Amino acid sequence: AQRVTQPEKLLSVFKGAPVELKCNYSYSGSPELFWYVQYSRQRLQLLLRHISRESIKGFTADLNKGETSFHLKKPFAQEEDSAMYYCALMAPGFQKLVFGTGTRLLVSP
Amino acid sequence: NAGVTQTPKFRVLKTGQSMTLLCAQDMNHEYMYWYRQDPGMGLRLIHYSVGEGTTAKGEVPDGYNVSRLKKQNFLLGLESAAPSQTSVYFCASSYGGFGEQFFGPGTRLTVL
């Protein structure tokens, strides 16, 4: 079965501090992994996907197949990063996303 | 382009009532999805469609039915609403099965 685990419901940091949002997955093959973000009163949107290897808004995420993790990182958090972050997995051939339970990031001034 | 739109934005139902949520997309996407979002549960897939005239069950399909009569529309029906269906419902669409999913603004449903 495919499962995505985000162990932290809430992550609270100060502006300028490093941020790491944890994501672990269970799937025996080679999934595609995503981070979606939902800012206050906005719709859910794609932040980044591992296959594109991009840095979006200063965020990066590295797929670690050995640890089955896809943690989201940013070296210096900004107040505008405060949002709900969801890690999601798509297994080849399944045509649908499996989401984690989400982590709320709160960046204080 | 409006992207993905959902109707209505809010609705309050009594137990046993029925209703239909409408999702529309103007991006010519093949795939469409219905999710529900509950505190501490994340987003869970209810039903999805890989093309006009097709539907498939997701993770939590019980109590819901869907139809995709037109490519641009995906309807979610509740035949007999229950308090357990109180949730925020999101529709999404994507061009292909592995493509980025584009989400609607959500429908907040309360069942009393």
pLDDT per residue, tens digit, chain B (112 aa), is 789 999 999 999 999 999 999 999 999 999 999 999 998 889 999 999 999 999 999 999 999 999 999 999 999 999 999 999 999 999 999 987 777 899 999 999 999 9
B89 strand-pairing partners = B36, B107
Kindly give the parts of chain A with pLDDT less than 70: none
Residue of B nearest to A100 (CA): B42
**Residues near B62 by beta carbon (within 8 Å), at least 6 away in sequence:** none
Q: Please, are residues B38 and B85 in contact by the beta-carbon 8 Å criterion?
A: no
What is the structure's pLDDT at B72?
A: 96
Cβ of B104 within 8 Å of Cβ of A43? The answer is yes
* B98 shares contact with chain A (CB less than 8 Å): yes
What is the structure's pLDDT at B1?
A: 75
CA distance B79 to A64: 44
What is the structure's pLDDT at B33?
A: 96
* C-alpha distance across the termini of chain B, in Å: 36
Q: How close is the nearest chain B Cα to the Cα of A99, in Å?
A: 6
B57 strand-pairing partners = B47
CA distance B50 to A11: 36
Q: How close is the nearest chain B Cα to the Cα of A5, in Å?
A: 10
What is the structure's pLDDT at A82?
A: 98
What is the structure's pLDDT at A96?
A: 83
Cβ of B103 within 8 Å of Cβ of A44? The answer is yes
What is the structure's pLDDT at B61?
A: 96
Compare CB distances from B98 to A32, A45, A98 and report the shortest one's residue. Answer: A32
What is the structure's pLDDT at B111?
A: 97
What is the structure's pLDDT at B89?
A: 97
Using a CB-CB distance cutoff of 8 angstroms, which residues of chain A are in contact with residue B97? 90, 94-96
CA distance A9 to A23: 12
* A46 shares contact with chain B (CB less than 8 Å): yes
Q: How close is the nearest chain B Cα to the Cα of A30, in Å?
A: 13
Amino acid, single-letter form, for residue B68 = R
Compare CB distances from B43 to A9, A32, A86 and report the shortest one's residue. Answer: A86
| Both tokens assigned to B92 | 């999404």
